Amino acid sequence: MADKARLPLAPFLVPCVVLAVVFAAALGEVLGYSFRTFIPGSLDVGGFTLENFARIGKPIYARVLRDTFWLSFLTALFTLLLSYPVAFAIVRARRPWLRGLLIVLAITPMFTGEIVRTYSWMLVLGTNGFVNALLGGLGLIAAPIQFMYRSIGVVIALVQFSMPVMIVILATALTHIDVDYEKAAANLGAPPSRVFLAVTLPLSVPGIVSGFIVIFAWTMSAFSTPQLIGGGKVLMISNMVYLQGLSSFNFPFAAVLSLVALVAALGTLSLAAPLTKAIERRAALH
């Protein structure tokens, strides 16, 4: 009777299958463009070629790839460091109203458009913006700090964009930690700091690894933030795709750059499960 009462699974899979087919078709089109010859001054493409892939090794494109990985790494790192205390406070808050307030404050930025948030950061980080005005008013700086059109400004904005996602991932991991382990450590005489470092932090490592990898892969596709705050001086791979595709109309090479970004992101995400299992296995041995 229980089996007969179950809803059929097929109708729920149809939308997923349709989206997967559309996505695969789009990827196939991009892949096809990557092997075509670029014809300057024309929107048409030529015959088969491998030259587009050979261009990836040129210094200018290699530098963009390197900067993309580096900025994504910094964003994931600082997002993790800033998000962990917030996630911990959300999970361990004893008063429901405080927990609810922290959750609202944590996820509210997700409801603001990316362009709106980026323009807001441009006002905050500008030469005469809020940050420089505050630091100057406190007498901490003699001249404005240049945040705009530099990597530091891009990373600051990307960290703020990424924090809601990281907080949700970390809070989920912390929720699954049995507090009895912490109580046992405390009963054995461990101070709170020792309990956190020896029990809570190691048990939350799967969430840390997952959050770091997700934010790293997500940041690799950032476009509007490096485009506006970087001002053309801080280029990530998405910005290079835009320049090649919509400025130079070199759609074949833009397709190659898109594939490189996709492979790098998917490759990074594929590391999440093996790394988490390896860390858990190592922790179990100790």
CB-based contact 138:192 (threshold 8 Å): no
How far apart CA 177 and CA 111 sit, in angstroms, is 29
**What angle is formed at CA 81 by the lines to CA 199 and CA 228, rounded to 5 degrees?**
160
For residue 66, what are its two tokens? 């390197």
Long-range contacts of 183-189 (CB under 8 A, 24+ apart): none
| 52-285, CATH topology level | MetI-like fold (1.10.3720)
Provide the residue ranges of all domains of the chain, joining segments of one domain with +.
Answer: 52-285
For the chain, what is the mean pLDDT? 86
The per-residue pLDDT for range 89-125, each reduced to its tens digit, is 999 888 888 888 888 888 888 888 888 888 899 989 9
The per-residue pLDDT for range 34-82, each reduced to its tens digit, is 898 888 877 788 888 888 888 888 888 889 989 999 999 999 999 999 9
Angular region, 99: left φ>0, alpha ψ -120 to 50, beta rest = alpha
For residue 210, what are its two tokens? 């997952």
For residue 124, what are its two tokens? 């905050």
CB-based contact 148:122 (threshold 8 Å): yes
Read off the pTM: 0.86
Report which of residues 5 and 6 the model is more confident about: 6
CB-based contact 166:80 (threshold 8 Å): yes
Amino acid code (one letter) for 200: T
Pairing of strands 45-48, 36-38: antiparallel
What are the E-state strand segments in the chain? Answer: 36-38, 45-48
**What angle is formed at CA 35 by the lines to CA 33 and CA 41, rounded to 5 degrees?**
60
For residue 284, what are its two tokens? 């179990």
